[in-house]
Every structure is written in structure tokens, then in C-alpha cells.
Structure 1
């Protein structure tokens, strides 16, 4: 992730909510958690009406040796 994003900042993604059948089948929530994202608040339902949740990753400022 750090290869593509420089900080400081926050990366937000929207994925399946915890009660959505796709949450387990797709493994998306586990994938984001493995990358260091933290679950946030629920957001608007998806097009099929299923729940969605925001995940966030804080990206610190780059620290470089001088």
C-alpha cells in the first residue's frame, strides 16, 4: 500500500457490512484488516440492498533519513 500512497492522510474503502453474505464469501473484510485498515461506521446500502461499511487506513507522513 505504501508504494502507491504517500502520507499524511487516510485511505477509505467501502466493503460489505458484517451481516452481508458476501462478507464471508469474498474475504474482503479480512483482506482489508490484513492490510491494516480499521472498520468504521456503516454507510449507504449497496445496489442490491445489502449493508456496507467504511474501512480506514491512516497513512503517516513519510519519514526519510537526512
Structure 2
């Protein structure tokens, strides 16, 4: 099974993209998956991901 790794700065890039009203792309979703599987995330990064996922569920962030 291939190992999924998080690119440095990926969370910040995804958050900035979504803040600019860009839809969440498939590559963004893979980045989020890698982030969730990464045990070295900071608490701030985990909170950012949680906020982003809540925004998707509420329909505030579009998914491409």
C-alpha cells in the first residue's frame, strides 16, 4: 500500500485557497486526507482542518 505524506505548507495553502472562494479540489481533498493521517500535525492545524470540514458540511465551501 502506498504511503500518503503531507507536503509542507499544504494545510496553509488549502486554507488560503478556500478563503479566496476557490472550491475544494480533488488534490486538496487528498492533501486533507494525508493531513488527517499525519500524526505530527499541530493543534492549530487540526483545528483548521476541523473548521474547513464543518464549512463543507454547512455548504459554505464548495467542492469541485
Larger radius of gyration: 1
TM-score of the two chains, using structure 1 as the length reference: 0.26
TM-score of the two chains, using structure 2 as the length reference: 0.26
